[in-house]
Amino acid sequence: MITRSAHEMAAAMVAEEVTSEKLTQDHFDRIAEVDADVHAFLYLDHEGALAQARAVDIARANGEKVGPLAGVPLALKDVMVQKGIPTTAGSKILEGWRPPYDATVVTKLKNAGIVILGKTNMDEFAMGSSTENSAYGPTHNPWDLTRIPGGSGGGSSAALAAFEAPLAIGTDTGGSIRQPAAVTGTVGVKPTYGGVSRYGLIAFSSSLDQAGPCARTVLDAALLHEVMAGHDPKDATSINAPVPQVVHAAKNGNVKGVKIGYVKELNGEGYQAGVRSRFEESLELLARAGAEIVEVSCPNFEYALASYYLIAPSECSSNLARFDAMRYGMRVGDEDGVSAELVMNLTREVGFGREVKRRVILGTYALSSGYYGAYYGSAQKVRTLIIEDFTKAFANVDVLVSPTTPTTAFKIGDKVDDPLAMYLNDIATIPVNMAGIGGMSLPCGLAPEDGLPVGFQIMAPAMQDQRLYSVGAALEAELLTKWGAPLLSRIPALGGAK
């Protein structure tokens, strides 16, 4: 049962083949079996999850109306606050903190009857592409435990690929949902900015951060998307408009007459051969299914990475000022005669990891008097140019596509001492965040040279997220026909292998 999709699990509960309590316990058993190797989870909430599962089972038995994902287990990225449940965002500075409130996304999950198993590992404050920046140790890719599961949401993607949960929540500031999905052979969607509430999402870069669904199928992602999304008065940047019809789109995947542009600048040099060949095969499948494929040039995308690594650190240097050792979290050096400022400095020295410090310092520099215009100001102008590239492209095509990442999963430790090499992982995912539009990654095969998953990225204009699902479901169906079974059926067995 645990290898099925979320909507199949839900159907099995409706058909009374299984209870949510049994399903939840089966997932905890699987976690107990494999998570010592994978390390996807930072915290497990056995008691709360089983209580929620039993409540859904009782409601169903009483004939009460429950949501389409009621009783289905989910893994929650540790950047989302959940009342009473330890929430660290992968940082030592929040070790042991139990939030006094729920994020809006968490409230929506609970109201939908979804069972939250626990909190997943991540790069500290979502800064990273490998989960190696977690203060609690890295997560391992279930396809090859010596490799990274992507980041920052590597815990969520690994949990899906290891069959520890059928659904997960991620957040995506520069690719933190899509890149982990790509390297683990799972599906991840970054909705349009403002489509999902950021209330209770621990902020990294507020103009870029967006929570979204992670799953093993396009339809499962759509079902979760619909639960999470919608206007929230508690988030001033939340869009007050109806949620795009993503479930309908996922159930009716179709590319007949759809114009698909592949981005010239997001392919070629720097992209692994097997990534390119799998991507190009998918383009052929889409063409055969009736799509019109054209080449599109977005010349300013080559400046996106540089712009991102000014904007995101600038915003994080401001956002992370809240970790001041005064109201919650860690406090170091609080002795008689030691000033509040020194306590703050000492706490942040111990509480923050290397990458977080690097970005806070970089952001502080980019925003400082005398350098603001040259760095942060220029980066904001590049953001305008990237948005213009997208606007021009979407005047001619319905969606844009590219490989999600330039390479498959690399070895743990390989890039940890080279920040610039690490940043390159997000080269194809960052433009979407800069423009605030929606993006999806879905698995499109294994690279022949290393046998590791490759991700196919789809990008759609703002508030047109249904196009991601329509095209994604069509490609998924074509690939399934070609393969005969889902890609994850080829993942090596975990547990007891040691």
With CB under 8 A as the contact rule, the residue among 8, 37, 245, 328 that binds other proteins is: 328
Residue 6's H or E segment, with its range, is helix 6-14
Q: At what angle do helices 104-111 and 218-228 cross, to 10 degrees?
A: 110
Tokens 């590219």 map to which residue?
Answer: 402
Shortest gap between Cβ of 72 and other proteins (angstroms)?
A: 30
Residue with smaller CB distance to other proteins, 362 or 454: 362
Shortest gap between Cβ of 407 and other proteins (angstroms)?
A: 19
Shortest gap between Cβ of 265 and other proteins (angstroms)?
A: 14
Residue with smaller CB distance to other proteins, 363 or 445: 363
With CB under 8 A as the contact rule, the residue among 352, 394, 456, 469 that binds other proteins is: 352
Name residues contacting other proteins, limited to 233-252 (CB under 8 A): 233, 236-237, 239
Which alpha helices (H) appear in 39-140, and where do they start and end? 46-61, 104-111
- 345 binds other proteins per the rule CB under 8 A: yes
Exposed, middle or buried by CB within 10 Å (0-12, 13-18, 19+), for 197?
A: buried
- 421 binds other proteins per the rule CB under 8 A: no
Residue with smaller CB distance to other proteins, 11 or 421: 421
- Phi and psi for 388 in degrees, rounded to 5? -65, -40
The pattern of x and - marking residues 159 through 198 that bind other proteins according to CB under 8 A reads ----------------------------------xx----
Beta bridge partners of 455: 443
- 101 binds other proteins per the rule CB under 8 A: yes
Shortest gap between Cβ of 390 and other proteins (angstroms)?
A: 10
Give 80's DSSP letter. B
Q: Which two tokens stand for residue 385?
A: 């140019």
With CB under 8 A as the contact rule, the residue among 307, 407, 425, 470 that binds other proteins is: 307
Task: Tell me, rounded to whole angstroms, the distance of Cα 132 from its chain centroid.
Answer: 16
Using alpha carbons, select from 131, 133, 121 the residue that is nearest to residue 40: 121
- 97 binds other proteins per the rule CB under 8 A: yes
Number of residues counted as binding other proteins (CB under 8 A):
69
Measure Cα distances from 200 to 104, 121, 248, 421 in Å.
6, 17, 29, 31
Name residues contacting other proteins, limited to 192-231 (CB under 8 A): 193-194, 207
Residue with smaller CB distance to other proteins, 245 or 380: 380
**DSSP codes of every residue in 229-255:** BS--TT-TT---SPPP-HHHHHHT---
Determine the Cα–Cα distance for residues 414 and 193; give it in Å rounded to an integer.
Answer: 32
- 294 binds other proteins per the rule CB under 8 A: no
What is the side-by-side strand order in the sheet with 167-171?
41-44, 115-120, 73-77, 167-171, 211-215, 187-190, 438-446, 453-460, 399-403, 259-263, 292-296
Q: Nearest 5°: CA angle at 442, between 441 and 443?
A: 130
136, 138, 142, 147: CA torsion to nearest 10: -170
Query: Active-site residue among 156, 176, 197, 205?
Result: 176
**Is 470 among the catalytic positions?**
no
Of the listed pieces 5-13, 67-75, 95-103, 283-291, which binds other proteins according to CB under 8 A?
95-103
Of the listed pieces 34-42, 279-287, 305-313, 483-491, which binds other proteins according to CB under 8 A?
305-313
**Is 77 among the catalytic positions?**
yes
Determine the Cα–Cα distance for residues 106 and 315; give it in Å rounded to an integer.
Answer: 25
- 343 binds other proteins per the rule CB under 8 A: yes
Shortest gap between Cβ of 239 and other proteins (angstroms)?
A: 7
- 364 binds other proteins per the rule CB under 8 A: yes
Residue with smaller CB distance to other proteins, 111 or 252: 111
**Is 318 among the catalytic positions?**
no
- 377 binds other proteins per the rule CB under 8 A: yes
Residues composing the chain: 498
Site for other proteins, rule CB under 8 A = 97-101, 193-194, 207, 233, 236-237, 239, 300, 303, 306-307, 309-310, 317, 321, 324-331, 334, 337-346, 348-349, 352, 357-358, 360-362, 364-365, 368, 374-375, 377-385, 387, 419-420, 434-437, 462
Q: Catalytic residues, which ones?
A: 77, 152, 176
